[in-house]
Amino acid sequence: MQHGDLVHVAGTPISFAAEIDRVPANIDHFWITLGTGTGEPIRIALSTHSRQNAAGGFDSRMRVGIVPSTWQTLPPIGLVKSSCLDYQVLEAASPVTYAEYERPALELLLTQKTSNAILVEAWGELYVRAHLGIHQIHSMRASCSVPRDLHGRDGAIRFYFPSGKAELLLFKYCGQP
């Protein structure tokens, strides 16, 4: 696998943190680090605020839809290539209600979900920097500030809880269908 590939990862949460910057307007990520049993941990980078929308005078909040489910068997841990997800297909199967989140509220939601999860899985785009990670964990359709309209390249994250419940979180920016 290489930088830019669409991937699926599943692993146990090792750590998580909201981005810190001395300039609050620069803060726009929440990171979850997963262990996959293969050595190097993988970092999931979730957007918590749209700096591009803010710069363009649009709503910078993230819209989050939560799709609840149950599980009996956890997915296998690891990192594999994926065709990703398509929000249109998910929304056609089960209506999803999206709520707008200010960055601090979304950080709190993600902290709670990660703290309680026994396994996390995510779909997105692989990146390689000083660490291995996955980003673009959101809808890739055109938004208020990004005209590029990609179908079938959406990313998402699912949290598995000890109760046998799971929650798939879908992320959208202002103007995304």
Per-residue pLDDT at 84 exceeds 80: no
Residue 95 belongs to a domain? yes
State the chain's mean pLDDT as an integer. 93
Query: What is each CA distance from 8 to 51, 87, 106, 172, 177, in whole angstroms?
Result: 26, 15, 23, 19, 23
Residue 177 belongs to a domain? no
Q: Which domain holds residue 67?
A: 6-172
Let me know: does 101 contact 30? Beta carbons within 8 Å.
Answer: no
Rounded Cα distance, 101 and 46, in Å: 13
Let me know: does 142 contact 151? Beta carbons within 8 Å.
Answer: no
For the record, the structure tokens of 28 come out as 């726009």
pLDDT value at position 89? 93
Give the count of domains, the chain.
1
Residue 29 belongs to a domain? yes
The tally of CA atoms less than 13 A away on the side-chain side of residue 42 is 26
Residue 30 belongs to a domain? yes
Per-residue pLDDT at 55 exceeds 80: yes
Residue 1 belongs to a domain? no
How much is the pTM? Answer: 0.94
Residue 34 belongs to a domain? yes
pLDDT value at position 7? 93
Residue 24 belongs to a domain? yes
